[in-house]
Homo-oligomer: A and B are copies of this chain.
């Protein structure tokens, strides 16, 4: 009876997409259910998966909204490489 909750930011992995696609979500559901079967022998039909997409403004990292944090890290890297 496992429950797996996957929290991700709502943003795309590809050029045009602005969120994970239905296919990507299905791959997450399939993969993690299979993992619980492989590792803990949990039957597929006893696993629930919930994907929670969080707006980037609502996700914090490093004390900042995540997009600001990424920019800061990118500029730090650019700086240290300069």
Q: Are A59 and B48 in contact (CB under 8 A)?
A: yes
Q: Are B31 and A35 in contact (CB under 8 A)?
A: yes
Interface size on A, residues (CB 8 A): 51
Query: What is the minimal beta-carbon distance from A70 to any residue of chain B, in angstroms?
Result: 9
Is A6 positioned at the interface, with any CB of B under 8 Å from its CB? yes
Contacts A/B (CB < 8 Å), 16 sampled? A8-B36, A8-B40, A13-B41, A20-B40, A24-B40, A25-B57, A25-B60, A27-B35, A28-B39, A30-B60, A30-B64, A32-B32, A44-B63, A51-B58, A51-B59, A52-B58
Q: Which 6 A-B pairs have the closest CB atoms?
A: A29-B60, A49-B60, A33-B63, A51-B58, A44-B63, A31-B35
